Every structure is written in structure tokens, then in C-alpha cells.
Amino acid sequence: MLSSLVQKFIDQSPLSSNNDHRPSKAALFRDQFRLPAGQHPLHEITAELFLPLPSSAAAGPLTSGEKSRDSGNRYVGDLHLSEHFLCFSTIRTSFLPGASHTASIAFTGPTQGAGPGGNGFTLPLCSIRRVERLNSHHDKFSLALTTFESLQKALTDKTKASLPFPRKLVLTLDGSRLACERFCDGLKRGLREGMKEVDSLRTVVSQCFSEYLLDPARLKAREEGTKPPDPPDTGLGILFRYPGDARKLRDKSKIRLWGEYMRENGRNATIVRQPTFHKLIRVGLPNRLRGEIWEICSGSFYTRLRNPNLYEKTLAKFTGQESLAIDEIEKDLNRSLPEYPGFQSEEGIGRLRRVLTAYSWTNEEVGYCQAMNIVVAALLIYMSESQAFFTLGALCDRLLPGYYSKDMYGTLLDQRVFENLVERTMPVLWEHLVKSDVNLSVVSLPWFLSLYINSMPLVFAFRVLDVFFLEGPKVLFQVGLAILRINGEELLDVHDDGSFISVLKNYFSRLDESAHPHSENEKLRAITKFQELMVTAFKEFAGITHASIEELRAKHIDNVKAGLATFAKRTSIRNLGPESKKLSADDLSAIYDRFFSVLAERQKRAKLREEERRRQEQQKTRPGLWTHHSDRNHDEPARNIAPLQTMDYDAFREFLANTAKWALTDSPTSVSKDLSKPVTSQRNRSHTLLQWGSGPQPADHDFMQRLYGKWDESHQGEMTLQQLVRGLARIKGTTDIMNSMSLFFELFDDDNTGKVDREGILRMSESLLFLSRRGFDGTITPSDFGNGMISPVSAADAKDGLQMSTNEKFLGSVSAFIRRCFEYADPDEVVESTSSKLQAATINEPAEEEDLLDLTETKSVSKQPASPKPAEHDPLSEVTPPGTAVKPTPILEGSRRSSSRAASHNLALDPSKPLHITLPTFRMVILADELLEQFFESFFPQSFHLSDSPNSSTVSLPSSTLSGNLTTFSNLGTPVKNLINGASNKTVIDVGRAGGVVEPGSRGLRGVLDNIVNDGMRMAAEMRKRMEETQREFERNAREQGHSRPYRDEEDDDDDDDDEKGAELGRRDQELLEGAEVASIKTEGSRSRAVSSATTETGTGPKKGEGGGGGGRDLG
């Protein structure tokens, strides 16, 4: 239920809209008007834009719409209001499928689809200085907008009669009264907000060449021969000349035409697009205005307006830092348009370096991609650094999505789309290419990737760019198709890649030549190949629209992404190193998928959490206003974060939870407790839920931490896929029991000394219990009839009886494990007193003996008479009565010298006498027990489910696993609660009996689980208690100096205990409980951590211990 809530939340989040390929309405809106992030279509209304003709200026200020009805241009279109912009376009907006504006067709410019095509404007609200409500007939709303520059002009140039009147834009809203009023209210509110940004506007505008061009001060200075104001930075071209011959390009007259246009239609922030605007762009922009128009068309102007100092701030923020991107940038700085003089100078290279570097910091997902250097170099010829920086952002984010990203999917996708278009529009050529096995992408890829800049001579490439920024990416396709069409004849004669390339190379080098050199018609002869290309591109391929491109992209994107994913996976798996070869290809593939899906999911959830946090913050700071568009304040362009490639510990836990049953938490719905780690800021419950998403929730246990610590070779919390695979390959790659024992041992060998100390032994046993607490999937069979092969999980339920007894027996094995470990442990080389020396000598003996056994007869060790009785003899007697289970006495029945036994036992518990076991000892102890042997032989390696597992369904259907768990635990629910609430007698009995008696259904299973955990805790507690007891004993002994047999007494006590079990049990339980409490309360150092992590698993540590104890008494 909770998971479905989470799912719902995820579904509603903006992130999920990226999953299907339909962009949101807001995204379409922003694309249409090239608006920065954070803008939403708040209000929209059909409107008529009326632009009075300047010639009517003499008529004086406009007072009524009626009066000037015939002396101006009218456009019908959609008027949109966003948080910071008022936009108008005659082009039907793609996100309003129902709307149709036939009336505007006549005025529709040559552009179709996204981008600031059509006629209209994109006005930052802060640029509007006055809005007047006009008297209108027909019961319509008419507004007259006055923008800042016309006011400014009116103020400064009052004296000059020749200047045009203050420009006004008249908008007549076409809608119900209510709709109009609502729109006006919104506008009012927006205008008020917009006042705050006037300063930014002033800054940004002052850097525009148009401002300088039309500056009356400049004109005046020129007339008077005085020094004009400094022009703004218009790129390297002003220092190193602009490419091409300015006279041939007719740069002066173009500037003049633009000057005229902008005087009438506004400039930079307030320019209104009329048909002339599009025409002026088609004939090529004048050098010094080029950067500014690119900026406005691409929309980077508006992004800059929202955050004018981002470029400088970014540079300052990351000064002196290094990154891979910077290294890559450095390699290419000297080879970006090297033929342009500006880039043979420190000045030009410095600008290029700064822009590329700053951008790489703001967009980590892209960083730096070769070809960006060429594009930015081209931009810098016409733009200031800051302008180029924002324009690069517009390119990467909007105009060329995915072109420069890490996998370059956009590049590949558009190549596919381009091929598709060639096939569709030039089937003969396409067939020829296919037949001659010529790969079109080989030539076309660089066209798209570097926007024709290094394919065509610069002057022509910039002409393409002019249109590209206005009309969008479809221009790249149109030009590409036109190139192929024009060269079609020649290309049909070509049969290999090489000649294909050279035909086109040759064509590009002759773009300035006449297209019809032999024509009689002089006009025809004057047409250059480039002009022919442009005409072909935009006339013949006018049908290539933004919409048709988008459609083709949508068709191919899944394919392309899948291809890339396969490629990345194939490459990545191939390069995982020699150890990975131990795993099957299926396993590797499963690990790869799981690794990255866990990381991707986590990143997604982190993003959601971050958004949630921001939303809450915002609600706190500005309640009420604009709340329905909560991210409007994210003006700071969100830094694109590169996808994660490494796992931290939590991600690793999640991976394990998808891999091994034991890694699932026992309390999936509760807040996960990271007792051992500093709790990361979990602000509320929903955050915690999001922490693990809808997948299985992982446990947190010392064992998992150790596994992570071991595998994460860098020890920086960054586990790579390779490290993970290496770790898994070591466990699963060989089925050798020796190997799997050593791996386990190494996990606890903290300082690589080959020794595991007392603490480590306890932890080993805790880990064994942790790993086994969800059963063995049939990998372990206590008697001889099974061969240890896996039986499916589903079968486990049916075999409840068997499983329970297996668990019981395993518990016995673990308790025996502890005893034996302590018995055979070697003391550390501590020389304190003669007595301890003596003890050390005695204890070394048996350990050595066993070493020999271990080496010579590994397989038959369990049958050695010297080794303790295997658990199968009578597991219940050892396990169920809690008192006896952990009793140290039955360690060595008969075959050992009792004195040595007692001594070793006591020594084992003596905290002042450090001891350790070595790998051989560990192996011996394991092999001495059938169940533990099977545990390491089959269960341990097999518990990691990769491709082969029935468990693998958890990956594809995580929710099913979760619900499975929920079922288990809902069954458990009541009794566990009873336990927690102080244990009615009956429940207690249940728990206890579950150990020995088969209970029907889930209760039995629960009993097993509880029992295992209980007993494990009890055992650990008992060991600690005994350690403390012994310490006390030692202290007592120390006080009674000269005691001849210091340990004899104690041993006698033990023996007595054995004899009068029943009588002593009550007292023992009491002690045991105390021990448990002491152990769990203890805060000192790592020891308490082990216990508390064990208790965390059940969630009810001490109380359960109590229940278990009670159960034991009943049975006893």
C-alpha cells in the first residue's frame, strides 16, 4: 500500500514525463518561445496584435484602436503569459491542439514549428514600462504596451522631431470578459514582479550592439566629431576581423537595414518579429549584430537576462579546480578553428578556454565534447564570452539535445532521422548508397555535430547558423538534404566512402562559385552555389518541419537508446577484467543491469527528494503566491548531474537486497535505522520511503558493511561495477568450499594479519545467523538424503518441517562454532604472567593438531573422533533449551583433557588475554560441522542470486517481492506485537515451541525466525556475560594471590550446573537476560554496535530475548 503511494507520487512527478517521449506542455511552451527554465504558460488567450505603422506617427499618440485601423499591421495569434514573459506568436502553438487560427496564416513567416518562428514577440515583463487600457468598442479589451526603449528614446530625444513616436504595441484580447480580466490580473501581477528585474535588464541590454547602434549619444558624437561611447564586446571579430569580405557581404547596408527595422520594431529584449525580420536573417546577418540576433533567436538572451552574472560567478566559483573535462578542453584549445587569426592568439584561446570550462562546470552531464570547441570558437567570433556561454547552453539544452552528452545519443538519433529523410525524399540516391555500402553518417555526422562549421567555408557556415538559430534544428536537416540533392547526379556515380567524401568536399570548396556558370542569363549566373543551396533547402525541403523531425525522432529514439545501452553494456562487460570471466555472460549481464538500475533509481529518488525539499522550503518562504508553479524560483539553471557510476554503501545494500534474500530488511515498512552510520537528513516519513523506492528494502548488518568494505577497494565509498563484479566473481565464480571459507574469513580479518580475534569470532557467528535467518532454500540438508542442491523458494513453505529443523540444527552448529573457535583459538603473543604463558602453551597444542588434520583430510574432518559431535546427533537437546545451548561445558565431551578444556575455555573468555583464530583453524571448525560445511559449500555462494535465480524476478518486479515480504510479515504481525507488548504466556510458548514442534503454516516459520534471532542474541549475550564473569573471576583470583588451581573451581561449578540443569535454569536465564541487557546497553566502542545491529533486525531486541527465555523455561 505504501509502495503504491510512492509509485503514485513518482508518477505525478515531473520526472516521469521524461519516460515517455512526450514533453510537457510547459516544455513545449518554453521551446516555442525559447524561454528559460522555470517559465510556465500561466494564461493564454487569443489576441490580435496591432502595430501602427511609423508613418502614422505624425497623427500623434494613439488613443483609440479604431482611429488607426487601416494604418498598421495586424496579426492574429496566441498571447501567452508566463511568470516573467509576455509572448505572442502567429504560429499556432503546438501544445494547443484544439486551437486553430486560420486568420493568421497570411502572416505566418517562413518558419513552422518550434522556435520564435512566426510573427510576434517575446517580451520580458520587466521591459514593459506602461500598459494602457484603451477605450474600445465591441466590448473588447485592448491594451497598449509601451516598452522601455521607446520611453527612453522619447525622453532623450524630445527635441528631435524626426524620431518616431514612442512605439506602442496594441493588443486586443479575444475572449470572454472573465478570461480577459483574468489575463489582465495575471499581467498586472507579473508586471509588479518584473519591476525587480529592471536592473538586470539594464545590464544585459547595455551589452547589446543594437543599443549602441541606436544610441543617440553615439549618433550625436559622430555628427560632432567627438569621441563616441565605447561599443560593447561583439566578439573576437572586432579585434581580428570578421571572416569574409565585409564589402562583398554588404555588411554596411545590412546594418543600416537592421537599424531601421529596430527603430520601428524595437530591439534586443523588445524586438517584434515581422516578416522583414525573417527576411533580414535569411540574407545573412551583419557581423556586429550577428551575436545579438543569435542570442535572441536562440533564447540564450532570456536565460542571461534571468541571471546576468552566472558566467562570471561560475568561473569564480570553480577557479583552480580540475576535472577530466578541463584536461580534454586543454587538448583541443589549440586546434579550434586554427585558421582564424583570433585563435592563434592568447586572447582568443583564453576566451575559448574560459567559456568551455565554465560550461563544463554547469553541465556535468555534458562536460566537454569534441566539436563543442569548434562551435564555441565560431560563436566567439561574434559574441562576448558571457553571450557565448549562454548560447552554448541553449545549444546543448534545447537546440541540439543529446548531441554532446556522454553517450551522444542525440547525434546518433539525428543521423538516423536524417537517413530516414534521405530515404524518403531521395529514394534513388538512398538505394544507391545502400547498394554501394556507403555509410551516409560518415559524411553527415560532422555536419550536424559541428553545425557545418568545419565542413563549409566559415562565411557560409555562419549563414546556415543565422537561420538555424531562428528556425531550429530542422535547418540542419534541410541543408543536409539540399546538399545531397544538388550533388545527387555525381553521388550516383560514386561507389565508396572515399569518393563520396571527396565529391562533397569538392562541392563545399566551391560554394562561392556560380551555380550556373554557363547560363546566358546574367542574373542566373550571379547566383552562387550557396544561394542555390539555401533556396533548395528552404523551398524544396519546406516540408521538413520541426514537427516532422520530432515525429521521426520519437520513432527512432527507443531504438537508438537501446542500441547505445547494448553497446555500453557490451563494452563495459568486456572490460571488467580477467576475474569477471569466472562468471557466466548471463550473470555479468544481470549484475550490470542491476548495478545501473539501482543507481539510476536511487538518483531519481534523490532528485525527487530534493524537489520535495525545495517545494517545502518554498512553501515556507512564500506561501500563497504562485504556489501552483513552485519551481519558478529556480532561476539558477539546475546543474545537470552526470549519471552515477559508483555505488556508495546504501546503493550496495539496495543491490544486495535485489540479489540475496538475507539482505532484505525484516521491517520493511518502518523507518530504516542506520544505527551504525550518521543518519542522513531524513526530514520526514516520505523521505524515508523514497530512500528505497518501491523496491525491496535492504537490511543493514555488520556483514554487509564488511562486504562493502572489502569489495570497495578504493575505500572511498565508491564501488565500481568492476569491483562489485570482482567481489561476486570470487564468491560465485568457483564452487570450492575452501575458497568460500577463506573469503568469509577475510571479511573479518580486519587488518589483514590472517587472524580474527574474539570480537571477530562473535561477529562471524552473528553474520552466520544473519545470513541464515531467511532459510537456506534447501541448500543445506542436515541428514544424508539430500545432496545440497537448490530447491525453489516456493517449495520451502511446503517443507516447513524440514526447514525448521534445518534452521534449528544450524543454530546448534553456530553455537558449536563459537565454542570450538574459542577452544582452538591461539592466544596473541602477550606475556603477562607465568600462568598465562603456561596456558598459552597448552592451548596451542590442539590447534596445531587440527591444522594437520585440516591439511590432510579436509573432507573427512567432520568424522574425526577428535572433533566434537556433529549437530545431527541431537540438535534439539543442544538448541532448544537456551541454557544448555550456550553452555560452555559440552564443548569437549570425553576426548579432551578436562583441565586443558576448562583452561582454554576460560582463557577464551578472558578479555585481558587476547586470542585469535587463523584461517586454518577457522576451516577446521567449519569442516567439523556438516551444516556449516554445507553452508559454505552451497548456501553462501548460492545465496547471491544473479541471472540463474528464481529470485531474479525481484529485479524486474520489485513490488512483487515487497508484497511477498509484506505477506510474510503481516502474518507475523500479531504474535510479534504480542511479544513486544510484554508477552502473554501463550505467545511465549508459541515462540518456544516453534523451535522443536512443527507449527502449521506461517506461525511455524515465524517461530523459526524468531528463535534463530533470539538464540543468536542469547548466545552473543551469553558469551559476553561469560567474558565478564571470567573477568570478575580473574579479578577475584588476582586478589586471592597464590591460589594453586585458579580455574579448577570454576570448572567444578560448571560441572555442577550440568548435573542440576533444571534447578539452575531459572537463575541462568535471569543472568542471561541481564547479560543481554548489559550487552545491548553498553555504548562503548564497536561491541555495542554488533549487538545493536543484530537487534535492529528484529526491531525488538531485549524484549524478544525475554520471550525466548521464557519459552526455554517452559520447555525445560
Partner 1 sequence: MADQSSAPKPSSSVKLVLLGEAAVGKSSLVLRFVNNDFQENKEPTIGAAFLTQKISLPSRIIKFEIWDTAGQERFASLAPMYYRNAQAALVVYDLTKPTSLIKARHWVAELQRQASPGIVIALVGNKLDLCAESSGDNDSAADSPADAEEGGAEPGEAEPTDNGDARKISTREAKSYAEEEGLLFFETSAKTGTNVADVFSAIANAIPETSLKGSRGAAGGGTQAALSGAANRADEARVNLADRAKQKSDNCAC
Residue numbers at the binding site for partner 1 (CB under 8 A): 328, 331-332, 334-338, 369-371, 373-374, 405-408, 411-412, 437, 439, 441-442, 445-446, 449-450, 454, 496-498, 501, 564, 567-568, 571, 574-575
Q: What is the DSSP letter of 308?
A: T
Least distance to partner 1, CB of residue 382, Å: 20
Least distance to partner 1, CB of residue 655, Å: 25
Nearer to partner 1, 496 or 832 (CB): 496
CA-CA-CA-CA torsion sign (812, 781, 730, 692): negative
Which grid coordinates are listed for 641? 548531474
Q: Which helix (H) or strand (E) holds 621?
A: helix 585-621
Nearer to partner 1, 157 or 407 (CB): 407
Q: Would you say 661 and 699 are in contact if contact means Cβ atoms under 8 Å apart?
A: no
Least distance to partner 1, CB of residue 551, Å: 24
Nearer to partner 1, 146 or 415 (CB): 415
SS percent in the chain: helix, strand, coil, step 5: 65, 5, 30
User: CA 74, CA 81: separation in Å to the nearest integer?
Assistant: 20
Least distance to partner 1, CB of residue 120, Å: 36
**Cβ-count burial of 1 within 10 angstroms (0-12 exposed, 13-18 middle, 19+ buried)?**
exposed
Nearer to partner 1, 164 or 401 (CB): 401
Nearer to partner 1, 556 or 887 (CB): 556
User: CA 1069, CA 1075: separation in Å to the nearest integer?
Assistant: 9
Q: Would you say 210 and 229 are in contact if contact means Cβ atoms under 8 Å apart?
A: no
Nearer to partner 1, 27 or 564 (CB): 564
Least distance to partner 1, CB of residue 335, Å: 5
User: CA 982, CA 513: separation in Å to the nearest integer?
Assistant: 96
Nearer to partner 1, 345 or 548 (CB): 345
Nearer to partner 1, 439 or 739 (CB): 439
Least distance to partner 1, CB of residue 729, Å: 18
Beta bridge partners of 80: 44, 87
The backbone torsions φ and ψ at residue 129, rounded to the nearest 5 degrees and listed phi first, read -100, -25
Nearer to partner 1, 333 or 796 (CB): 333
Least distance to partner 1, CB of residue 411, Å: 8
Least distance to partner 1, CB of residue 487, Å: 17
Least distance to partner 1, CB of residue 79, Å: 42
Nearer to partner 1, 448 or 939 (CB): 448
Nearer to partner 1, 207 or 455 (CB): 455
Least distance to partner 1, CB of residue 496, Å: 7
Nearest CA among 92, 88, 91 for reference residue 120:
88
**899-904 long-range contacts, CB within 8 A, separation 24+:** 899/1048, 899/1051, 900/842, 900/843, 900/845, 900/846, 901/823, 902/1047, 902/1048, 902/1050, 902/1051, 902/1054, 903/839, 903/842, 903/843, 903/1047, 904/822, 904/823, 904/839, 904/842, 904/843, 904/846
Q: What is the DSSP letter of 665?
A: -
Least distance to partner 1, CB of residue 413, Å: 12
Q: Would you say 711 and 727 are in contact if contact means Cβ atoms under 8 Å apart?
A: yes
Least distance to partner 1, CB of residue 337, Å: 8
Nearer to partner 1, 412 or 1021 (CB): 412
- Count of positions (residues) in the chain: 1116
Nearer to partner 1, 438 or 470 (CB): 438
Least distance to partner 1, CB of residue 405, Å: 8
Nearer to partner 1, 70 or 437 (CB): 437
Which grid coordinates are listed for 1028? 565478564
Buried b / exposed e along 218-254 (16+ C-beta atoms within 10 A): beeeeeeeeeeeeebbbbbbbebebbbeeeebebeeb
Nearer to partner 1, 516 or 569 (CB): 569
Least distance to partner 1, CB of residue 441, Å: 6
Report the amino acid identity of residue 551: E
Beta bridge partners of 527: none
**Cβ-count burial of 61 within 10 angstroms (0-12 exposed, 13-18 middle, 19+ buried)?**
exposed
Tell me how many degrees the CA angle 880-884-888 measures, rounded to the nearest 5. 135
Q: Would you say 206 and 137 are in contact if contact means Cβ atoms under 8 Å apart?
A: no
How many C-beta atoms surround the C-beta of residue 100 within 10 A?
10
Nearer to partner 1, 498 or 792 (CB): 498
Nearer to partner 1, 444 or 1011 (CB): 444
Least distance to partner 1, CB of residue 492, Å: 19
Within 8 A by CB and 6+ apart from 18, the residues are none
Least distance to partner 1, CB of residue 416, Å: 12
User: CA 1061, CA 1049: separation in Å to the nearest integer?
Assistant: 18
How many C-beta atoms surround the C-beta of residue 865 within 10 A?
7
User: CA 690, CA 9: separation in Å to the nearest integer?
Assistant: 10
Residue entry with cell 502474518:
971
How many C-beta atoms surround the C-beta of residue 79 within 10 A?
25
User: CA 712, CA 707: separation in Å to the nearest integer?
Assistant: 8
User: CA 928, CA 866: separation in Å to the nearest integer?
Assistant: 10
User: CA 440, CA 928: separation in Å to the nearest integer?
Assistant: 69
Within 8 A by CB and 6+ apart from 415, the residues are 440, 441, 444, 445, 448
Least distance to partner 1, CB of residue 567, Å: 5
Q: Would you say 516 and 525 are in contact if contact means Cβ atoms under 8 Å apart?
A: yes
Within 8 A by CB and 6+ apart from 643, the residues are 365, 406, 599, 600, 603
Least distance to partner 1, CB of residue 21, Å: 20
Q: Would you say 862 and 927 are in contact if contact means Cβ atoms under 8 Å apart?
A: yes
**DSSP state letters, 855-891:** HH-GGGGGG-TTSPPPGGG-HHHHHSSHHHHT-SGGG
Nearer to partner 1, 213 or 337 (CB): 337
